């Protein structure tokens, strides 16, 4: 038995660096991922496709691990970095984008949007209790990621 939890996140922030520097970091998946908390492994599958293996969250038999893969596309001229899910990799389906716009020479406005579906092996009775916990954890990870990226500049 398994439950699926859907998550949608949107963030907007200003990065204290020029457009090229911000774009280059965000488009370099391993460099960008190094700022994301609780990544156990980032596996290069080739062709700008990566499998994310997150650290387990929880206790013993109730520990949950998120694993998913995405193919990344970077379009510097249009200020867009997107990722699409790779079918058959792990227990998650994740897609999203970064949209960047230069505000001035030293500030870049970024919009982060992602949606995820995570399937976890838990009884459906637990969905009401577990769903908010998973959403909170994901929000917390993304907030830490945003703060870490800002500090990188």
pLDDT tens digits, 91-126: 999 999 999 999 999 999 999 999 999 998 877 877
Count the domains in the chain.
1
- 11 closest CA partner among 151, 144, 153: 144
**CATH number of the domain within which 93 lies:** 3.30.530.20
pLDDT at 59: 65
pLDDT tens digits, 3-62: 899 999 999 999 999 999 999 999 999 999 999 999 999 999 999 999 999 998 766 666
pLDDT at 62: 66
The Cα 74–Cα 28 span in angstroms is 9
Structural domain including 131 reads: 3-152
Q: Is 32 exposed, middle or buried (0-12, 13-18, 19+ CB in 10 A)?
A: buried
The Cα 72–Cα 97 span in angstroms is 9
Residue with tokens 């020479």: 105
pLDDT at 71: 98
Mean pLDDT of 116-145: 87
The string of DSSP codes covering 93-106 is EEEEEEEEEEEETT
pLDDT at 127: 77
pLDDT tens digits, 69-89: 999 999 999 999 999 999 999
């Amino acid at each position: 038995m398994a439950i699926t939890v859907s998550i949608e996140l949107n963030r907007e922030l200003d990065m204290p660096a020029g457009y090229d520097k911000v774009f280059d970091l965000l488009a370099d998946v391993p460099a960008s991922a190094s700022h994301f908390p609780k990544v156990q492994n980032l596996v290069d599958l080739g062709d700008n496709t990566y499998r994310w293996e997150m650290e387990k969250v929880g206790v013993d038999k109730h520990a949950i691990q998120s694993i998913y893969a995405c193919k990344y596309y970077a379009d510097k001229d249009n200020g867009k970095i997107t990722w699409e899910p790779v079918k058959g990799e792990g227990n998650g389906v994740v897609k999203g984008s970064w949209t960047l716009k230069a505000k001035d020479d030293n500030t870049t406005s970024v919009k982060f949007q992602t949606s995820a579906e995570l399937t976890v092996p838990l009884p459906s009775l637990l969905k009401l209790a577990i769903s908010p916990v998973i959403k909170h954890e994901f929000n917390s990870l993304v907030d830490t990621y945003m703060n870490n990226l800002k500090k990188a500049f």
